Amino acid sequence: FLGIALLVYHMFFKLLGLFLFAVEIVVFVIAPVWREVRVWWTMRNVIARRPRAWASAGAAVIGLAALAPPLSAKVEIPAVLEPAQFVRLFPHAPAEIRAAHVVAGQRVAAGEVLLTMASPRLEKELEVTLARLALTEQRIARRLGDAKDFSQSLSLDKDRLSLIERRDALRKDIDALSLRAAVDGVVADLDPDLHAGRLLSRQDEIGLIVQGRDTVIRGYAGQEDLW
Has residue 146 got a pLDDT over 80?
no
pLDDT digits (tens, 9 = 90+) for 1-39: 888 888 888 888 888 888 888 888 898 889 999 999 999
- The answer on pLDDT for 151 being more than 70 is no
The residue-averaged pLDDT of 106-132 equals: 89
Q: What is the pLDDT of residue 147?
A: 55
SS3 at position 4: helix
Strand 95-100 vs strand 113-118: parallel, antiparallel, or unpaired? antiparallel
* Of 83, 117, 91, the residue nearest 205 (C-alpha): 91
Instruction: Look at residue 218 in the predicted model and tell me its pLDDT.
Output: 92
Q: What's the confidence (pLDDT) of residue 34?
A: 94
**Strand duo 185-188 + 79-89: pairing:** unpaired
> In sequence order, what are the residues at sequence separation of 6 or more whose Cβ sits closer than 8 angstroms to the Cβ of residue 53?
47
For residue 205, count other CB atoms closer than 10 A to its CB: 12
Write the CB contacts of 107 (distance below 8 Å, at least 6 apart in sequence).
184, 185, 186, 187
**Do the Cβ atoms of 83 and 189 come closer than 8 Å?**
no
CA distance 73 to 71: 7
**With pLDDT > 70 as the criterion, what percentage of the chain qualifies?**
95
pLDDT tens digit string along 185-225?
A: 999 888 888 888 888 888 888 889 998 888 899 999 888 88
pLDDT of 47 reads 83
**pLDDT score for 48:** 84
Is the confidence at residue 40, as pLDDT, over 70? Answer: yes
**pLDDT tens, 130-143?**
999 888 888 777 76
